[in-house]
C-alpha cells in the first residue's frame, strides 16, 4: 500500500477557518451552559451540540491524522 505524505495544514485560509470554528465553538458551549442554568434544557442541548460540532470542526485536521494513525495500526 502506498503511503501518502501528511500535509501540515498551515495555509492562511485553513488557519482562519480553524480559529473561527474554535471561537464559535467555545462561545456556543458557554452559551449552552448559561441556558442550562436558566432552565432552558432543550435549547441548551441544541446549542451545546452545535458548539461541540464546531470544536470538532476546529480539530478536523488532528482528528483526520489520528484516524489515519489508528487505521495504520490495524494493518
Q: In a structure prediction context, what are the per-residue pLDDT tens digits for the chain, which is 75 residues long?
A: 556 666 666 788 888 888 999 999 999 999 999 999 999 999 999 999 999 999 999 888 878 777 888 778 777
For residue 58, what pLDDT is reported?
87
For residue 4, what pLDDT is reported?
61
What gap in Å lies between CA 23 and CA 1, rounded to an integer?
39
For residue 42, what pLDDT is reported?
94
For residue 15, what pLDDT is reported?
85
The DSSP string of 4-62 is PPPP----HHHHHHHHHHHHHHHHHHHHHHHHHHHT-HHHHHHHHHHHHHHHHHHTHHH
For residue 68, what pLDDT is reported?
82
Amino acid at each position: 500500500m502506498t503511503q501518502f505524505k501528511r500535509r501540515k495544514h498551515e495555509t492562511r485560509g485553513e488557519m482562519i477557518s480553524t480559529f473561527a470554528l474554535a471561537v464559535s465553538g467555545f462561545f456556543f458551549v458557554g452559551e449552552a451552559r448559561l441556558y442550562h442554568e436558566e432552565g432552558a434544557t432543550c435549547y441548551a442541548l441544541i446549542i451545546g451540540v452545535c458548539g461541540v460540532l464546531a470544536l470538532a470542526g476546529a480539530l478536523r485536521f488532528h482528528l483526520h491524522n489520528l484516524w489515519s494513525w489508528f487505521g495504520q495500526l490495524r494493518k
